[in-house]
Amino acid sequence: MNVWYLDKNTSQLEFPVNYVEVQQKLLDSLLVGNNTGALNLVYNLITTDVTKEYLLTQVILPTINIIDDLYNRGRISESERQAFQTFAMDLIALVGLVPNTSPRTLRARSLCMAGSESSVHFAKIASAVMNLSGWNAVFMGNVETKIDPFFDIDLQRFILKFYGKSKGLVVILIFSFSEGPLRFLCNAVKSLKSRFSGDLRLILFTKEELGGTAQTLGADWVTWDIFQLHKWLESEYKKSYG
């Protein structure tokens, strides 16, 4: 039995939820080091009718983006950014681990990997949302520092071992805001398609400025919009599996 409690920072929230207000409360808690308040805010929202996917994409994701912006403008230090983002990543994991009340189980698996530090939270949120939506989704983490002349072979062996004979839809998602890792990882996955017996899709998630380059790499789809990504995934699954 789970025991949930209301904290003074969250008891005044009004329903239906104003996501902008909630996001500001979360950001305010993080910026003053009140991790307990931030955690209680998310705990209490999880137990309401708030859609967990919305909590991830309209509360936690914008908060991380604002923290990045504050750092880039010199408003917070490197240490503050590291602490805030690490805790925010923990919140993503927390939300993603709490199942929906009426979970679906799809014939679909996914592997999300990041190829740059700035894209890690997008990959982790995408994986969490997919799990909540009924996918068997795995977040691989940031592999940028693992890339060397032999990593493509290692990655291909991993994918073939765990996904090569999967029945249903398999989607490999590469998140990177750096051209080099994006290109390397895309080529590594593309080259194993001929050895893949299942129904495989390759998606690239990058920043808009790299969109033109990404379009030339031969993936099945390219985006820089987290909302469009999940719409595309739902559509692609329905086309093949109803």
19-97 to CATH, choices 1.10.1240.10, 3.40.1640.10, 3.60.150.10, 3.40.50.11540: 1.10.1240.10
The amino acid at 169: L
Q: What is the pLDDT of residues 29-58, one digit of tens each?
A: 999 999 999 999 998 888 877 889 999 999
**C-alpha span between 75 and 57 (Å, rounded):** 24
Domain residue extents for the chain: 19-97, 108-241
What mean pLDDT value characterizes the chain?
Answer: 91
Q: What is residue 2's predicted lDDT score, i.e. its pLDDT?
A: 36
Structure tokens at 92: 């993503």
We find that the CATH architecture of domain 108-241 is 3-Layer(aba) Sandwich (3.40)
**C-alpha span between 150 and 139 (Å, rounded):** 21
What's this model's pTM, rounded to 2 decimal places?
Answer: 0.90
**C-alpha span between 236 and 172 (Å, rounded):** 13
Write out the H or E segment, with its range, that includes residue 42: helix 35-46
Lowest mean pLDDT among 6-15, 99-108, 180-189, 217-226: 6-15
